[in-house]
Structure 1
Amino acid sequence: MSNWLGEVFATPKPVIAMLHLSALPGDPGYDAKGGLDAIVRRARRELDRLQAGGVDGVMFSNEFSLPYMTRTEPITAVTMARVIGQMMDDITIPFGVNVLWDGRASIDLAMATGAKWVREIFTGVYASDFGLWDTNVGEVARHRSRIGAGHVRLLFNIVPESAKYLVDRDLASITKTTVFAALPDALCVSGPTAGSATDLEALRTVKQNAGDVPVFVNTGVRADTAEQVLSFADGAIVGTFFKKDGRFENEADESRVRELMSSVETLRTVRV
């Protein structure tokens, strides 16, 4: 089932920490006075705390590029490549990238930096807070092949945040057809926004219909829920809980990282 997970991570039930980059050049919230140096300094502080706290992987994203675009401007991925490049010597665990909400740009960034995976919305058409959200997985898959990025794993967010599928289809059917027709390397199940709890029934439904494709819980995992959701999910992606006071806008807090990872280690020990 999760052979590629075993190749990338040295443990079952991997926990991937989000490293939310500050607003970037071109974003409304960009701090022109602090510039790129300030972005790198904060990212390096957070990376140190996440790695020291024991996470299994880290994913760099432009989370503070609000409001998001479904087709990003080149400056976004270019700047992310510079930031990650400056931190490369400090990264000691597997990493992935996510250029919100642009699958093609995410793959380009992964290829440029050596990231092992990307997470994005690759399939479906949605009514979203960002307008009509249309995807083209066939085009993206061919772009991935054309640039030699077949080794970059694609994590499909099958329940997009801030959006609703335009066609009234049940989640079980969406899962089955996505696995069959779009060839994802993993599926991610989310709540409405970053930090919001993922619906457990939705998570179960996706897991039950995903066949051999690994399923990640994508939002809202906390220290007190990690054991429960990872009892049937194959891994977790955690961002907000790892922040100081559990607030989205804050920097990572090593003590909160250790708290959640301790819960996960308990689960792993029981499984062994």
Structure 2
Amino acid sequence: MEINKSIIGMVHVGALPGTPRNCLSIAEIVEQATSDAQKLEQGGVDAIMMENMHDRPYLNRQVGPEIIAAMTAVATKLRQAVSCPLGIQILAGANKQALAVAHAAGFNFIREEGFVFGHLADEGMMNSDAGKLLRYRKLIGAEHIKIYTDIKKKHSSHAISSDVSIDDMAKAAEFFLADGVIVTGNATGEEASIKDVQAVVEAVRLPVIIGSGITVKNIADYWPYADAYIVGSSFKYDGDWQNEVELQSVQAFMVRVQDLRNSN
């Protein structure tokens, strides 16, 4: 997937079998996810990413076969339903599993957490996995799938790496062969620091992606710096990530994006 001021819309897959909030069948979950993805594509986004955010509380790195099977079922259907580039994240930190699903379903990228430097996530300690993940990607012949990794990830404590700046962490991700880095706020829906974004952009040659807090009102502030923008909450009814995608919100957002593109 080539990144150039791209808008990546989020599909938050319904709670999967075996997770505390699951109340739908696989068929119903697939139907909801497909509907969201089609509205995102109809609204004009450049790419779509799916994520099992409704599976809270998350497991640390290890998710059950029922999760992988369900995510593969959803991913396969999404690949049939839309034509734009697709990505996947499997929470929490199940990066090898996400890569396997992406490879099986014909996806273009994964969102990764814990690539370099350990951190204390709300699921517990998460050690870095760049070496294992890139070897796994090579092993299964999935080198065409891009790995975009969070740095100083949201929903996490970084006290253990407090002496490592965000730009130095980005440099480490670049050195360890990430395909792009993601900068976020402290939590889902919270704005990233523009100062942090600028520092990362100046530090690496990799694509820099904003991973949270982008809205129709603030995207102009970030437009000069980032290469792509992951948008979730702003595309949902009432701006709540837990709700379905609202086509009108996507269309209004993309009108603003087109204005910004035309002004360059």
Question: What TM-score do you get using the length of structure 1 for normalisation?
Answer: 0.91
Quote how far apart the aligned CAs of 1:96 are.
Answer: 0.9
| CA distance in structure 2 between the aligned counterparts of 1:47 and 1:73, rounded to whole angstroms | 25
| CA distance in structure 2 between the aligned counterparts of 1:51 and 1:224, rounded to whole angstroms | 21
The alignment status of 1:64 with 2:64, answered yes or no, reads no
**Partner of residue 172 from structure 2, selected from 147, 170, 177:** 177
**Partner of residue 119 from structure 1, selected from 73, 90, 111:** 111
The residue number in structure 1 matching 2:233 is 240
The residue number in structure 2 matching 1:9 is none
Aligned 8 A contact 1:15 1:237 in 2: yes
| CA distance in structure 2 between the aligned counterparts of 1:228 and 1:87, rounded to whole angstroms | 32
The alignment status of 1:92 with 2:113, answered yes or no, reads no
The residue number in structure 1 matching 2:193 is 199
Quote how far apart the aligned CAs of 1:74 are.
Answer: 2.1
Aligned 8 A contact 2:173 2:181 in 1: no
Aligned 8 A contact 2:30 2:73 in 1: no
Quote how far apart the aligned CAs of 1:19 are.
Answer: 0.6
Change (3 A) 1:145 1:262: same
Aligned length: 259
Aligned 8 A contact 2:120 2:126 in 1: yes
Amino acid at match of 2:2: L
Identical-pair percentage: 27
Map Cα deviations across residues 52-90 of structure 1 (whole Å, 9 max, x no partner).
111001011111111122222222121111122234321
| CA distance in structure 2 between the aligned counterparts of 1:162 and 1:83, rounded to whole angstroms | 26
Amino acid at match of 1:179: E
The residue number in structure 2 matching 1:223 is 216
Instruction: Give the secondary-structure state (helix, strand or coil) at the position aligned to 1:97.
Output: strand
The residue number in structure 2 matching 1:54 is 44
| CA distance in structure 1 between the aligned counterparts of 2:54 and 2:169, rounded to whole angstroms | 29
Segments of 4+ moved more than 4 angstroms: none
Amino acid at match of 1:40: V
| CA distance in structure 2 between the aligned counterparts of 1:45 and 1:162, rounded to whole angstroms | 28
| CA distance in structure 2 between the aligned counterparts of 1:118 and 1:213, rounded to whole angstroms | 15
**Partner of residue 16 from structure 1, selected from 2, 8, 13:** 8
Instruction: Give the secondary-structure state (helix, strand or coil) at the position aligned to 2:15.
Output: coil
Greater alpha carbon shift after TM alignment, 121-130 vs 20-29? 121-130
Aligned 8 A contact 2:181 2:206 in 1: yes
5 Å matches for 1:100-179? 100=91, 101-121=93-113, 122-165=115-158, 166-168=160-162, 169-179=164-174
Aligned 8 A contact 1:29 1:65 in 2: yes
Task: Name the Cα RMSD after superposition.
Answer: 1.3
Mark the runs of 5 or more structure 1 residues left unpaired by the alignment.
Answer: 7-11
Quote how far apart the aligned CAs of 1:267 are.
Answer: 1.1
**Partner of residue 29 from structure 1, selected from 11, 21, 24:** 21
| CA distance in structure 1 between the aligned counterparts of 2:185 and 2:95, rounded to whole angstroms | 20
| CA distance in structure 2 between the aligned counterparts of 1:48 and 1:183, rounded to whole angstroms | 33
Aligned 8 A contact 1:241 1:256 in 2: yes
Quote how far apart the aligned CAs of 1:132 are.
Answer: 1.2
Quote how far apart the aligned CAs of 1:128 are.
Answer: 2.1
The alignment status of 1:190 with 2:184, answered yes or no, reads yes
| CA distance in structure 2 between the aligned counterparts of 1:86 and 1:127, rounded to whole angstroms | 34
Aligned 8 A contact 1:226 1:260 in 2: no
Aligned 8 A contact 1:97 1:117 in 2: yes
Aligned 8 A contact 1:98 1:119 in 2: yes
Question: What TM-score do you get using the length of structure 2 for normalisation?
Answer: 0.94
The residue number in structure 2 matching 1:79 is 70
Aligned 8 A contact 2:116 2:169 in 1: no
Aligned 8 A contact 1:106 1:118 in 2: yes
Mark the runs of 5 or more structure 2 residues left unpaired by the alignment.
Answer: none
